[in-house]
Amino acid sequence: MARSKSHISNSAIRIFLQDVGKFYDEARGFEPFVPKIAQKDELLDYFNHQCCICGTQIDRKSLSKDHLIPMNKTSLGLHAWGNVVPCCSPCNNEKQQKPWQDFIQLKSDSEAEERIKKLSHSLP
């Protein structure tokens, strides 16, 4: 099935953002973010095995990684440490293109400020 020009260009942008994210991580002295078990564990540990959005307990099996700043031609979020965060599948599916700060306010009520502060410090 033929793909549209828009789909092809968005795929090219995502590949580019993955490559830039790799170089960005290396420039900051980090191992590039790739789907390794050790990196999943590091993400989970940093966020106390909780969804960074709603606080639900998650583990490797229930982990759904989200890009706070979406990897698309509009937002240009990198696939890099700080932009990739652990969340539960329901939050990842519901967030879509919503601004992450607004979505956290909506989902985590009293802990929203603390979550936003922690995520803001980790962003590239």
pLDDT in tens, 8-39: 888 899 899 999 999 999 999 999 988 788 88
Tokens 């937002």: give the residue: 75
In angstroms, the CA 103 to CA 115 distance is: 11
Note the pLDDT of residue 34: 85
Note the pLDDT of residue 2: 55
The answer to whether residues 20 and 78 touch, using CB atoms and an 8 Å cutoff, is yes
Parent domain of 101 = 5-122
Residue 118's CATH number? 3.30.40
Note the pLDDT of residue 100: 92
pLDDT in tens, 114-124: 888 888 877 76
Q: Report the domain count for the chain.
A: 1
Residue 70 has pLDDT above 60, yes or no: yes
